Amino acid sequence: MVELTSTALLLAIFGFLIAASVLSGRTLERLGVPVVLLFLLLGILAGSEGLGGVSFDDYGFAFRVGTAALVLILLDGGLNTSVASVKESFKPAAILATFGVAGTAGLVALFARFMGLPWTESMLLGAVVSSTDAAVVFAVLRGGGLRLHKRIATTIELESGINDPMAVILTLAVTTVVAGEQVDRTDLITGVPLQLAIGLAAGVGFGYAARWLLRRVRLSTAGFYPVLIMGGAFLCYGVTTLIGGSGFLAVYAAAVVIGNSRIPLQSGLARVLDAIAWLSQITMFLMFGLLVFPSQLMSVAWVGIAIALFMAFVARPLVVTLCLLPFRYPAKEVAYVGWVGLKGAVPIILAIFPVLAGVQGAMNVFNIVFFIVVCSAIVPGATLRWVTRRLGLQAPDVPSPVAALEINSTRLLNGELLSFFITEPLAVCNVPVSKIPFPPHCSAVLLVRGEELIAPRGSTVLRPGDHVYVFCRAEDKPFIQLIFGRPEEHT
């Protein structure tokens, strides 16, 4: 009976925290503060030294749950990444994900030593916080509705999706050295490209295998399809990691392959996995907040603030400038990429490595990392909207329709439904539907005008600001896009 009561109490607290986080998210977005910061702070508030009084210090469990959550977040991020944008931004993102991470780790370690930390803690801290965080980047750029020009957005997102291997290798190497074990320098040098290569190859292979399976399998209920994809993501991560590759990169690469393929229930799967990714993100940050003991943070507060500001204003901008120099990015884009050095769950997960290894000073590093994550959510996190507008990098804002029309089927059909936003330059703007040269098997099926739904007739004129849904077959899609423009991306 006592166990049942305690379980019910924990679930009630957890449910309240999730609901409070979601309901408060909109307010935080208007203030420019990433919503993930609220999840973290609510977790601290519910912890053993907060109002909730929930005692939680199982670092091993937190590491496992955080890893699983990050897999689901990367799965959702990859499903929404186009292959065309990856091809355009892969080289600069790869340089940032390797040399950029190493450079950031070195600069942070030097500054931490200057601040008075021992060399062991300084090196650990540099390795742990050296990478940007995919969970926070996706949450801020996509979940926060921040519209950037395609190339710069993809560079930032792709870097965050593939820069974990370098940070993991550095953290494990430093942890091993500090623990008194020997590290093979050759393995350390070749480890990053080898992990990236294995992770990329395994991810692409898993992606094509998943696409083949999804197209041919017939499941008894539609609810099994997202379960199958999530199971495949965990399998992809586990197998790739066991064979020496980057499991996180493999999941992201596999998701990109799946997301750019025609599979059953595509739009429905995207919405379900997006919801699961947000639940994973909320759970992860709430749980990590529970691990924080505010009484231990006060002694490292000034160090955490100083290092966070150094990373935001010196280390990250300097390293990004050097890494992007060969690619001739405009100065304002280089400055923006340098400013978006967001930290989140990954540094916290990596900071658990030395804690589990029993390394001296690991808890001090862990507490500093929490402080850096919080500061990163404020600087630069809370300023991103202002910086985006100031540098003129915001893409034209296309309003979302008040209604969405989808076709969901467990089988691949010869046709798809596309949504287009009508603007003045388009050939179909201010033209009656009867005058639009639709191919024989294509048609406009729904028009969304403000809050009004209209069934298009021959006399219906497409006006600027309309959202029109067009059904077409695969062979006619290029022509439809020629006259209607780029299809809308619904989130």
Beta carbons within 8 Å of 255's beta carbon, 6+ residues apart: 74, 75, 76, 77, 78, 79, 81, 207, 233
- Does residue 238 lie within any of the structural domains? yes
Whether residue 264 has pLDDT greater than 60: yes
Mark whether 100 and 173 lie in a shared domain: yes
Whether residue 454 has pLDDT greater than 80: yes
Alpha-carbon distance of 384 to 378, in angstroms, equals: 10
Q: What CATH number does residue 387 fall under?
A: 1.20.1530.20
Q: For 266-287, how does the pLDDT look when each residue is reduced to its tens digit (9 = 90+)?
A: 878 888 888 888 888 888 888 8
180 Ramachandran zone, left/alpha/beta (phi>0; psi -120 to 50): left
- Confidence band, pLDDT 50/70/90 cuts, at residue 3: low
- Confidence band, pLDDT 50/70/90 cuts, at residue 467: very high
Whether residue 316 has pLDDT greater than 80: yes
Mark whether 302 and 427 lie in a shared domain: no
Cα of 145 vs its chain's centroid, Å:
13
Mark whether 319 and 436 lie in a shared domain: no
Q: Please give the share of the chain, as a percent, with pLDDT higher than 70.
A: 89
Q: For 148-187, how does the pLDDT look when each residue is reduced to its tens digit (9 = 90+)?
A: 877 888 899 889 888 877 888 888 888 888 876 666 666 6
Domain count, the chain: 2
Q: What is the pLDDT of residue 26?
A: 59
Q: What is the pLDDT of residue 105?
A: 95
Average pLDDT over residues 393-416: 75
- The chain-wide mean pLDDT, for the chain, equals 85
- Does residue 133 lie within any of the structural domains? yes
Answer with the residue of higher pLDDT: 190 or 29: 190
Number of Cβ within a 10 Å radius of residue 168: 25
- Does residue 411 lie within any of the structural domains? no
Mark whether 311 and 382 lie in a shared domain: yes
Q: How many CA atoms lie within 13 A of 69 on its CB side?
A: 26
Q: Is 0.75 surpassed by the pTM of this model?
A: yes
Mark whether 333 and 479 lie in a shared domain: no
Mark whether 212 and 296 lie in a shared domain: yes
Mark whether 351 and 425 lie in a shared domain: no
Whether residue 424 has pLDDT greater than 90: no
- Does residue 491 lie within any of the structural domains? no
Mark whether 39 and 151 lie in a shared domain: yes
Q: Which of 198-207, 384-393, 427-436 comes out lowest in average pLDDT?
A: 384-393
Mark whether 153 and 290 lie in a shared domain: yes
- Does residue 12 lie within any of the structural domains? no
Whether residue 30 has pLDDT greater than 60: no
Q: What is the pLDDT of residue 10?
A: 67
- Confidence band, pLDDT 50/70/90 cuts, at residue 306: very high
Q: What CATH number does residue 434 fall under?
A: 3.30.70.1450
Mark whether 345 and 445 lie in a shared domain: no
Q: How many CA atoms lie within 13 A of 325 on its CB side?
A: 8
- Does residue 24 lie within any of the structural domains? yes
- Confidence band, pLDDT 50/70/90 cuts, at residue 145: low
Buried b (16+ CB within 10 A) or exposed e, 281-294: bbbbbbbbbbbbbe
Q: What is the pLDDT of residue 184?
A: 63
Alpha-carbon distance of 310 to 458, in angstroms, equals: 62
Look at residues 391, 424, 458 and tell me which one is the last residue of a structural domain: 391
Containing structural domain, residue 424: 416-484
Mark whether 128 and 198 lie in a shared domain: yes
CA 287, 293, 294, 300 torsion-angle sign:
negative
- Does residue 4 lie within any of the structural domains? no
- Does residue 178 lie within any of the structural domains? yes
Using the structure block, give the residue that is written with the tokens 């307010």: 27
